[in-house]
Structure 1
C-alpha cells in the first residue's frame, strides 16, 4: 500500500508503515495524533477506518467509512484507501456505486475517473473499462497514457468473441495506435511492441516488417528508452511471409552469436520443409540449411543446438520419405550415437532423442537391436566412485535405460535396482529384497532407529534417483513382449491381490528408500502422491497430505497439481473430521526431517482433507486478488504487452477446475453430509444456494488446469490425448451433479415447507366440510403443486448426463479405481466404472429416486381431496428408500449386485484371501455414508412435513396453556373430534414413519440417528471394524 501513497498525504507515511507491519495500535495512535490537529483530514479518516477494519471493529469501521463516502473525496490517496477497505470487506460493489455516482457529480476529476477505470480493470469488464478510458481520453487529451489505455481496452473487448475481434476491435485498436505513432507518442519499446502484437494478430506482417526496418523510428525510441535488437521479431515475421533469403540471413546472424539459439533453428526448419518438397527451390533450401547446420556443428562441437538441429533436419527428410544424398539408416544411427556419446551425461539428453529415434529408424526390429546395443555399451561398466566422471557415468546409465524403455527394449528391474543399490550403499540390503536374495532385517532396524536422517539436509536431487523411478515404472507397467520367451513375461492378467501388492511395493520403494536417500526429489514425491491418491492408488489421503507438505505447493503449482488430491468422489466425506473446516495444519506447509517417516503417526492423525480443500480455495482467492493487483500495476507501469496475458491468467484462475471442485465438494458436504436433520440442513441452505448459483455461472467457462506432464514418464506406451478430454468432461459432469443435488434438495425443501401449511389447514376440515371448495387464496398454490411434484419426479432423470450404464453382472468395486499400469499415464484414463456412473446407477441413485418418488407422492396427496383417502402405498415407497442401502451393507441374504464384500478372514493361511482392493471398499463405504446422509435428510424432511415443528417442539409455557384449555374442553364436551380421511391417512403414515425410523436407528421416536451411528451398525455386520475417524478391515 505504501507505493500508492499520494505525495500530498506524506504525513500518513508512518501510520502506513505501522499498518503494513500489522502494528495496528501504533498505526491508530499515529492517525489519532494527526486527526487531533486536522479533524477534517479525509485521508486520515479513511486510513483510520481501514485500521479499525483490520482490528476486527467492523461496525465502527463501516460507520467511519460511511462518513468519508459522504464527503465524496476525489484525491488518489484517499480513493486507494477506500478501494482497499471495500475489497477487504468484500463489498467492492459499494465502492463501484460510489465511484459511478461521484463521476456524475465531478466529471472533470481525473483521479476519480482513473480509480473507476482501475476498478473495471480488476473485474475484467472490458466494455465498461473501454468506456471509462475513452472518457479519460476525451477530457484529458494531453495525457498520452489515456490514448494507449483506450487502444488496449478496445483490443481486450474482443477476448470473448474472436470473430468480432478480427472484424472490428483489433482493426480499431490498430488505427488508434497508428494515430499515436504518427503523432510521435511512442517513446518506449513497450508502446512499439504493443503495436506489433496487434499487427501480428491482424496478420499485417508486411506492415510490421516495415515498422521494424524504419531506422529513424528505432533509433528515436532507443534514444528515449534503451537499445533493443528486434532480430528475433524480424525472423518470425519473415518466416510467416516465407521470405527465405531474409530468414536464412537473420538466422545466421543470430546463430553466430549463440549456436544454441533454438528459436532460430526451429523457424529455420519450419521454413525449410514448408510446402511442396519436390520442387527445385525446396531442394535449394534443404542444401542451404544443411550447409548452415554443418558449419555451426564444426564451429561449436560442444554445443547441443547444432547437433539437435541436424537430427531434426534428418528426421524431417526420413519422415517425408524424401531422397537426399548420404542420408540412410547407417547415417541416422551414427547421428544418434554421436549425440548420445556427447550429451548422455546431461539430464535432458533422454528427452531430446528418446522419442525421435522411432522417426529416424522406422523399422522396429532393427531399431530395438540398435537401442539394445547402446544400452549394453552404456551399462557394461558400473559407475565407480573413484572415477573423475562418476556422476556423468550415473547420468549415462539413467539416460540409456530411459531411451531403452521408451523404444520398447526390455529393462530388467533387477539391473536397475542393483545399479541403484551399488550407488546408494546405505540401502543396499533394502533394495536387494526385490531380487529375493537378501532380507530386510538390517534395513528395517536402520529405519526404526532413525536411519537416513543424515540426508535430511540434502537440497538437490541425486543422480541415481532416475534409476529408482524407472524401476517403479517398470514394476507397475512392465513391457509386454510380443513373444513369451522370457519366463518372467506376463502371460495372464494379474489378480487383484497381485496388483495391490505391486502398488504397496512401489510405495515402499519410494517412501522408505527413495525419499530417505533423496528427500528433495520432487519427482519421487509426486509419484508417491499419485500412488496414494484416493482416485487411482491406495486411497491413503492422510499419508498423501503428509507426503505433499514438503512440496510447499503455491501459486500455479497448487492449481495445476491440486488434481492429485482433489478428485470426483466421496473422498472429502471419508477423510474429513466432522468439525468446522479450518486451515491451521496445512496452511504453513512447514516440513520436518521426519515428515515422511511411517512412525510419525501423531502428525498424520491431524492431517485433514477438508483443510487441504480450504487451503486451495483460500490460496486461489489470494492468487486472484494478487493477479488483479498485477493487472492494475501493468497499466500503471505501462507494461502493456503483458496485459492480455494477465487477463487470460485471471480468467483461468477464476474458472480453474480444481478450485471449483474444491468449493463444490465443500458446499455439498456442508449441506447434504454433515447435517443430521432437515432443520440443520435448512440453516445452511440459504448461503449455499447463493454459492451454487455463483459456481454454476463460472462452470460454463471452466478451464482444465490439470498438469500431467510434471514428471516425465519414459514409457513404451503411446499416450492417448483423448484421456484428458474424457476425464475433464467427467469432472464437469460431476460438478453439475453435485450442484444440481444441492439445488434439488432446495426445491424439495420449498415443497416441504409449503406442504406444512396445507397439512395444518387439514385440522380445520371435518368429514362434513371436507367437500367444500378450497379458499380462493389457496387456488394458485394448489394449481402449482402438481406441476412442481411432477418436475421433482423427473428431475433425477436429468442427472444422468448420458452416462454409460454399469455392467451389473460383472461389477466389482475394484473397477472404481485405476489399474497400476495406468496410474502414471499422461494423462490417465477413466477407470472401468466412473464414480459418477456408480452414483447414478448404484445405491445412491436408487435411494434418491425413491426419496423423490415418496416426496412427490405425499405432495400430491396433500393437494388432493381432503375427504378421500389416497390410494398410494406409502409403506412400499418407504421400503424402496431403505432397500438399496440395506442390500449394500446388509447380510449375505440381502446381497445385490452392489453389495460390499465381507472382510477377509485374517486367520486363514490362504494367500489369495484378499480378493478386493481395500481402497475400493473404502470408496464404497464413502458412497454408503453419503447415501445414508441423503436418505436421513429426506426422511427428516418428511417428519417435518407430516408433524410440523411447532407441534413437535412446543414451548413449555404454551404446553401449560394447552393442557388447561384441554381440561376445560373435556369438562364442557365429551364428543371426540373427527378428522377428514386425508388427515387420518397422513397421521397413520406419520406414525409408521416414526416407528420405522426409530426401529432402524435405535433412538427415540422424535429423532433420527446421525449417519455415522447407523453406518457403524451396518458396517459391523459385514465384518469391518470401526475406529473413530476411520473404517478399517
Structure 2
C-alpha cells in the first residue's frame, strides 16, 4: 500500500488501521474504519480513496469509481491520496486515469521532482511516448540529472520504434535522439552503461555501423561491463554487418584463445575464413594483418588452431571442454559442404565421434551434439559406429532376463545415448517385426531397471530411464504403422501410462498419450480438428 512512514503526521496515524486491514485482505473492516474516520474528518481525501479500494476489492466497482472520481476532481496533491488513487486505478485497469491525476498535480506543484517522475511513468504505462519525451525534458530542467535526460532520449527511440512511417523514424526521431546523445558526449557527461547502450541502439537503428563501432571501441565502450564480453559481442556483430572479415576472424581467434568452449565464436571464425577464401584475401607484407591482430586466412591455419585447442584439452587433468571437439566436427561438416580436400586433415569422422562419446557420453547433451553430425558417416559405417559406441558402455553381468544393465547413472546415460543414436541412424526402423518386439522387451527391461536410480526423486523430477520408455512407445507406433495391428497401439498406451505413473511431470508422455487416445477415438467434442489422424502423423508430429 501507500507509504506511511511519517508517523508524526496525525492523518497517517488515523489512516494506519485502514492500511492494515487492506494489507491483510480484510476489506469489509477497512470500509467500516474508513466510514468512521470520514464522519469525524469529512475532508480526509485519502480515507475516501482507501474506502474505494475496499469497495473495489469486494466487487462494488461502480461505487468505488464514483467515490474515487469525487476525490480526483478535487485534484489532490498529498502523497497518500495520489498513491492510493494510483493503486485503485491500476486494480481497475484504468492506467490512463493516473496520467490525468499527475498532470493536475504537476500543474499545482510544478517544481516537484517526485510528481514529474510519477507523471513520466504514468505516460510510459499507456504508451504516450510523445508526452513521455516532454515530461522527461521538463523533469531534467527541474533536476538536471542524466537519467532524466536519457528518459527523454529513450522516448524518442520508442516513438521511432512505434512509428508507422519508417521514413519519419529515420529522418526525424532517431536523428534527434542521436543529436541529444552527441551533445552529452561532447560535454563528457556520459556516466552510466545504459546511456552507452542507448547510444549504440540509436546508431544501430540508423544503420551507422561505422560510427557505432567507433563508440564501442572508444572510451565509451569501457563502460560496457554488466554483461560478459558485451563489447566483443557488439564488435563482432558490427564487423559481420560491415563485412570486415579480417577483423571478424582475428577477433574470433582472440576470443577463442581465451575461452575455447565459447561456441558462439566458432561459427563466426569459420564463416570469416570462407569469406576470406572467396575474396582471395591475403595479409599485408608489413605490419599487422588488421586492427584486431592476426588473421587465419587458410584452411590449414584454422585446422591447426582447432587441433591445438584439442591438444590443450587432452593435456588437462580436469574434465575436457566440449567446444574444441565439436568445432572439429563442425569444420569437417563445412569443408565437406564446400568440397575442400583439406577435410582429410581432420581425421576419420567415425573415430572422432567415438572419441567424443568416450569423453562426453555420460552427459545428456551428447546425443544432441552428435546427432547433427551423423550425416558425416556413410551408410556402411552406421552399424560399425554403434558397435564401437557399445564397447565404451560399462554394463554389468547378464541377469536372468538375458540383458546386461548399467550399474550407475553415468553408465545408464551412455547406454541411452547409444540407443538414441541407433534410432537416429534408422537402425530401429530397419528391424523386422520380431526384431522390433525383441527391442521393445529390451527397452522395457532397461526402463524398469533404471527406476531404482530415481527412488528418492521428487514427484516433479523425471526418472533417469524415462527415455527408454519413450523409445519403446515409438517402436510400438512403428509396428502399428507397419502392420496395422491396433493391439500395438494399446500396448503403447500401457507402457506410457506406466511411465507416467513414475514420472508424473513428463510432458512427452502426456502429449504422446493425448495423441494416441485421440487417434483411438477416446476424445471429447472440443478436441481440435488439427490433431494427427494417422499413426504416421503422430510420428511426424513428435519426432524422437
Q: Tell me if both proteins adopt one fold, taking TM over 0.5 as the criterion.
A: yes
* Residue 133 (str. 1) matches residue 151 (str. 2): no
2:63 is aligned with 1:86: no
Equivalent residue number for residue 415 of structure 1: 439
- Aligned ranges for residues 697-708 of structure 1 at < 5 Å? none
| Correspondence for 1:820 | 535
Q: CA deviation at 1:53?
A: 1.7
1:507 to 478, 493, 505: 493
Q: Is the 8 A contact 1:383 1:390 kept in 2?
A: no
Which residue of 2 is the match for residue 874 of structure 1?
A: none
Aligned to 1:45: 48
Distance 1:505 1:387 in 2: 23
Equivalent position of 1:300 in the other structure: 313
Identify which of 523, 539, 543 aligns with 1:540: 523
Can you list the C-alpha shifts for 1:208-230, whole angstroms capped at 9, x where unaligned?
A: 33223334x456787xx999863
Structure-1 separation of matches of 2:373 and 2:528: 37
State the Cα deviation string for residues 682-721 of structure 1 (Å, max 9, x = none).
xxxxxxxxxxxxxxxxxxxxxxxxxxxxxxxxxxxxxxxx
Structure 1 counterpart of 2:352 = 335
Q: Partners of 1:134 and 1:26 in 2: how far apart?
A: 43
C-alpha displacement at 1:72, in angstroms?
0.9
CA separation in 2, counterparts of 1:86 and 1:260? 51
| Equivalent-residue separation in structure 1 for 2:495 and 2:109 (angstroms) | 70
Q: 2 CA distance for matches of 1:405 and 1:387?
A: 19
Q: C-alpha distance in 1, partners of 2:34/2:62?
A: 19
Residue of structure 1 equivalent to 2:214: 210
The whole-number CA distance in structure 2 between the counterparts of 1:73 and 1:207 is 49
- 1:794-842 per-residue CA deviation (whole Å, 9 max, x = no partner) reads xxxxxxxxxxxxxxxxxxxxxx8521222253589xxxxxxxxxxxxxx
1:475 aligns with: 476
Aligned to 2:289: none
**8 Å CA contact retained: 1:117, 1:129:** no
Alignment-derived partner of residue 597 in structure 1: none
Q: After TM superposition, give the deviation of residue 396 of structure 1 in Å.
A: 1.5
**How far apart, in 2, do the equivalents of 1:280 and 1:173 lie?**
39
Quote the offset at 1:49 in angstroms.
1.6
Change in Cα spacing, 1:357 to 1:166, as seen in structure 2 (3 Å) is farther
- The 8 Å contact of residues 350 and 403 in structure 1, kept in 2 or not, is answered as yes
The change in CA–CA distance for 1:409 and 1:111 in structure 2 (over 3 A counts) is same
Task: Say if 1:96 and 1:116, in contact at 8 Å, map to a contact too.
Answer: yes
Shift of 1:357: 1.7
Match of 2:156 among 150, 154, 157: 154
1:368 aligns with 2:391: no
Q: How does 1:999-1010 map to 2 (within 5 A)?
A: none
CA separation of 1:198 and 1:335: change in aligned 2, threshold 3 A:
farther
Trace 1:126-525 onto structure 2 (pairs within 5 A). Answer: 128-138=128-138, 140-141=140-141, 142-160=144-162, 161=164, 163-164=166-167, 165-166=169-170, 168-215=172-219, 217=220, 230-244=231-245, 246-274=247-275, 276-277=277-278, 279=280, 281=282, 284-301=297-314, 302-324=320-342, 326-327=344-345, 331-358=348-375, 360-361=376-377, 363=378, 365-374=379-388, 377=391, 381=395, 390-410=408-428, 412=436, 414-425=438-449, 457-477=458-478, 490=482, 495=484, 498=485, 501-511=487-497, 513-525=498-510
Cα distance in 2 for partners of 1:376, 1:265 equals 30
Match among 23, 26, 31 for residue 26 of structure 2: 23
Correspondence 1:476-875 to 2 at 5 A: 476-477=477-478, 490=482, 495=484, 498=485, 501-511=487-497, 513-532=498-517, 538-540=521-523, 568=528, 817-826=532-541
Decide whether aligned partners of structure 1 residues 515 and 402 sit closer, same or farther in structure 2, where only a CA change above 3 A counts: same
| Post-superposition CA distance 1:469-511 (Å, at most 9, x none) | 1222232246xxxxxxxxx993xxx65xx4x544433222111
- Tell me the CA shift for residue 199 of structure 1: 2.6
Distance 1:193 1:76, change over 3 A: farther
In 2, distance between residues paired with 1:819 and 1:265? 42
The change in CA–CA distance for 1:420 and 1:182 in structure 2 (over 3 A counts) is: farther
CA–CA distance in 2 between the matches of 1:461 and 1:426? 12
**Aligned position for 1:928:** none
For residues 109-141 of structure 1, give each alpha carbon's deviation from its aligned partner in whole angstroms, at most 9, with x where no partner exists: 765555454344334x3xx32233224414642
**Structure 1 residues 25 and 64 mapped into 2: Cα distance closer, same or farther (>3 Å)?**
same
Given that 1:110 and 1:136 are in contact with CA atoms closer than 8 Å, whether structure 2 keeps it comes out as: no
Cα distance, 1:318 vs structure 2: 0.8
Separation (CA, whole Å) in 1 of partners of 2:111 and 2:533: 64
Change (3 A) 1:228 1:342: closer
| Residues 350, 541 of structure 1: alpha-carbon distance in 2 compared, 3 angstrom cutoff | farther
8 Å CA contact 2:396–2:407 kept in 1: the answer is no
CA 1:303–1:139 in structure 2 vs 1: closer, same or farther (change >3 Å)?
A: closer
Deviations 1:132-174 (A, max 9, x none): 3224414642243333222222222343548444555434433
* Contact 1:416–1:467 (8 Å) recurs in 2: no
Go from structure 1 to structure 2 and tell me whether the alpha carbon gap of 1:355 and 1:348 turns closer, same or farther (over 3 Å shift): same
**TM-score calculated relative to the size of structure 2:** 0.77
RMSD: 4.3
Structure 1's 185 and 75: CA in aligned 2 closer, same or farther, altered over 3 A? Answer: farther
Contact 1:502 1:820 in 2 (8 A): no
Q: Which runs of 5+ in 1 are unaligned?
A: 429-452, 479-487, 543-565, 570-726, 728-815, 829-1033
Residue aligned with 1:230, SS: helix
Matched residue of 2:183: which SS?
helix
**Is the CA contact (8 Å cut-off) linking 1:120 and 1:129 kept in structure 2?**
yes
Post-superposition offset of 1:265: 2.4
Cα distance, 1:507–1:325 mapped onto 2, change above 3 Å = closer
Partner SS for 2:354: helix
CA pair 405-425 structure 1, distance change in 2 beyond 3 A = closer
Q: 1-side partners of 2:84 and 2:229: how far apart? A: 39
Contact 1:19 1:27 in 2 (8 A): yes
- Gapped regions of structure 2 (runs ≥ 5): 283-294, 315-319, 430-435
The answer (yes or no) to whether the contact 1:31–1:48 under 8 Å persists in 2 is yes
Tell me if structure 2 keeps the 8 A contact 1:130–1:153. yes
The answer to whether the 8 A contact 1:158-1:170 is kept is yes
Is the Cα–Cα contact under 8 Å of residues 47 and 81 in structure 1 kept in the other structure? yes
CA drift at 1:315: 0.9
- Equivalent runs, 1:950-961 vs 2, <5 Å: none
| Partners of 1:14 and 1:30 within 8 A in 2 | yes
CA drift at 1:354: 0.8
CA drift at 1:307: 0.7
Count of matched residue pairs: 507
CA shift for structure 1 position 280: 5.5
The 1:356/1:508 distance shift into structure 2, 3 A limit, reads: same
Q: In 2, are the aligned partners of 1:368 and 1:407 still within 8 Å (CA)?
A: yes
Per the TM alignment, residue 347 of structure 1 is displaced from its structure 2 partner at its CA by 0.8
2: CA distance between counterparts of 1:236 and 1:326?
A: 32
CA–CA distance in structure 2, aligned partners of residues 531 and 88 of structure 1: 44
Give the Å deviation of 1:405: 1.9
